[in-house]
Amino acid sequence: MKKFKEKFVGDSYEKLVAIKNNRLHNLIEKYVLLCNPDKITVCTDRIEDAQYIRTRAIEGGEEHKLTLDGHTLHFDGYFDQARDKKNTKFLIAKDAEFDPGLNTVNRDEGLEEITEIMDDIMQGKELYIRFFCLGPVDSEFSIPAVQLTDSAYVAHSEGLLYRTGYKQFSNIKDSERFFFLIHSAGELEGGVSKNIHNRRVYIDLKENIVYSTNTQYGGNTIGLKKLSMRLAIQLASREGWLTEHMFVMGVHGSNNRVTYFTGAYPSMCGKTSTSMIPGETIIGDDIAYLRKMDGKINAVNVERGIFGIIGGINSKDDPLIWDILNKEGEIIFSNILSTDRAEPYWTGKDGEVHTHGINYSGEWNSGKIDDKKNEIPASHPNARFTVNMDLLENTDSRIDDPQGVEVGGIIYGGRDSHTTVPIIEAFDWAHGVFTMGASLESETTAATLGKSGVRKHNPMSNLDFLSIPLSRYLQNYIDFAKNLDNIPPIFAVNYFLNDAVGDPITDKLAKRVWLKWMELRVHGDIGAIKTPVGLIPRYEDLKPLFSEVLGQDLSEELYTEIFTLRVPENISKIERIKNIYQNKIPNTPKELINALDEQEKRLKKAKKQYGDYIPPQKFIE
């Protein structure tokens, strides 16, 4: 085994020791000696270092050039196409406080296992050490993070998705407030991870370390994404701020007014499409940090790029994303089809339907089946694109503002075909947190899980990533609003409400109107109708918005159908949510149950007066 210092290439060792942080040095030396790479490259913030990573990804066969300049294609293994929930575990001590449903392993046992798996795992490989900053650099929001990986693809992806942080590390001196992430793809066969049976993603909350082995899929390996998010949720809980699964976007009003919204939506509920609506601006599409600053709530995008699902993206529904995916620029496509002309093709793409090429299963022809007799699609349902937001024409100018942007409103969105109206505003912060955020449900779709209509409870769309008890997370929300001068309103949206025969009541584009209505409500420019479950739009306000934004005439008949209160369905939802919190979530804040009880009383009173299905006009005072 080479000595530690001898493994460093060129001036890499000097780059490392220039950072004066003993804990960082000790951790790197510990895991270098354990994993035993042949050589080590340390990257700074320089463009030349980023270019070296891109070159190594091509030379090592982890990425392949496509026709357009800057476009590359990466394949994960056939059985390595998604987050490994089973083997993603928290390392916790016996006395730690966690919800029973959380996937955990005893810390000592987990560390022993992962140490055994990582022993000599990088032998014969090059280790890349990259420094990043979660959130804007030199900011109250900043969290430095260092990634060790033997995958140039992972190092390249993170270079697109995050702000470089070598300088940030140089400034923190001996602070221990940073995240340490170590990944190895393990032994490769045909360019992909071979030992999937030893795929592990372990999260050590005590030391703020993430371990990832024998996997290449981004959700398991790009440690700064949802893996660091779990670390940040606990850190935020200790320090009094929030880490949220939210977009941050600017909605543009009159007189050049820009109002910033955050939004949490479960998968397949319209989160990315909302944040990318033409005419508005985006700061981030996935993760946000929220802090109290000068009596207000400010938010930043933790990331600087997008790791997005590519399936179904077309020129009509997603014009802004479509544009960047079809012009030159640095983009990594993963697990799509490379056509015979080395062009990217994905399910739902405009134009020619391709029947032959190379995809994550190898050489592919239409109709190809796997060992279980399942047909293999041209591109995987979880196929992705990775791009830096500098390529987007609608990126907001304040994306790197160290102060973040003031949050004007918070949105919770779900997929609900039967109950919730398309847009509604909470009475106040607690009402929104408990009856909208904490009660968020989403119906599964046949396209994603094989069974449609199953409601999944996903509070704040953050349940999969919580590293603290849900009860504490909800209490943090209530405490967060204390001592604020300006508390943003909370809204709930539902783009999937059906009529009596099961057809959508509104089309996908209506979300543009709901955003404009929310922007006007934030500034008190229009009124609203008070119902038992929240505040809904007035017809006289929506009619001109539909005309101005969509060029559509909203009839009063359709308005009535859209906003009719479905009392039995709403009462059923309250009963479902109360059952979950009362029977499955220890130490649920009593205020949550009280808020649901009060909403149920209001609904039953309205039912007694007006019946099961109440048109909005009945609530006009």
In order, the DSSP letters of 237-297 are: HHHT-EEES-EEEEEE-GGG-EEEEEEE--TTSSHHHHHT-TTSEEEESS-EEEEEETTEE
**pLDDT digit string (tens) for 555-577?**
999 999 999 999 999 999 999 99
26 and 88 belong to one structural domain: yes
Between 226-239 and 470-480, two packed helices, what is the crossing angle to 10 degrees?
60
**pLDDT digit string (tens) for 519-557?**
999 999 999 999 999 999 999 999 999 999 999 999 999
Does residue 67 fall inside a structural domain?
A: no
116 and 197 belong to one structural domain: yes
The number of C-alpha atoms within 13 Å of 226 and in the hemisphere containing its C-beta is: 22
Q: Which domain holds residue 367?
A: 307-391
365 and 298 belong to one structural domain: no
Does residue 79 fall inside a structural domain?
A: no
Overall domain count for the chain: 3
What residue has token string 């904490």?
Answer: 438
**pLDDT digit string (tens) for 146-196?**
999 999 999 999 999 999 999 999 988 889 999 999 999 999 998 899 999
569 and 456 belong to one structural domain: yes
403 and 259 belong to one structural domain: yes
146 and 251 belong to one structural domain: no
233 and 292 belong to one structural domain: no
Name the phi and psi angles at 130, rounded to 5: -125, 145
In terms of Cβ atoms closer than 10 Å to its own Cβ (0-12, 13-18, 19+), residue 295 is exposed
Domain finish residue from 224, 239, 254: 239
267 and 281 belong to one structural domain: yes
Q: Are strands 104-106 and 88-92 parallel, antiparallel or unpaired?
A: parallel
Scanning 4-141, the segments in alpha helix (DSSP H) are 12-17, 22-35, 47-59, 107-118
d(CA 286, CA 279): 19
Catalytic member of 35, 43, 133, 269:
269
Does residue 377 fall inside a structural domain?
A: yes
Does residue 262 fall inside a structural domain?
A: yes
- The SS3 of residue 144 is strand
Whether 35 is catalytic is: no
Among 308, 277, 320, 335, CA closest to 81? 335
408 and 273 belong to one structural domain: yes
287 and 420 belong to one structural domain: yes
Among 105, 153, 86, 145, CA closest to 125? 153
Does residue 408 fall inside a structural domain?
A: yes
pLDDT of residue 445: 57
> Residue type at 604?
K
Among 511, 524, 492, CA closest to 279? 511
**pLDDT digit string (tens) for 315-335?**
988 889 999 999 999 999 999
**pLDDT digit string (tens) for 391-424?**
999 999 999 999 999 999 999 999 999 999 999 9
- Domain containing 318 — which CATH number? 2.170.8.10
d(CA 588, CA 155): 41
Interval 591-611 mean pLDDT = 97
40 and 182 belong to one structural domain: yes
pLDDT grade, residue 58 (50/70/90)? Answer: very high
pLDDT of residue 451: 55
- Domain containing 491 — which CATH number? 3.90.228.20
Which tokens hold the place of 508? Answer: 């996908």
352 and 439 belong to one structural domain: no
Contact between 496 and 453 under an 8 Å Cβ cutoff? The reply is no
- Domain containing 139 — which CATH number? 3.40.449.10
Mean pLDDT of all residues belonging to the chain:
94
Does residue 69 fall inside a structural domain?
A: no
**pLDDT digit string (tens) for 434-486?**
999 999 999 875 434 345 568 899 999 999 999 999 999 999 999 999 999 99
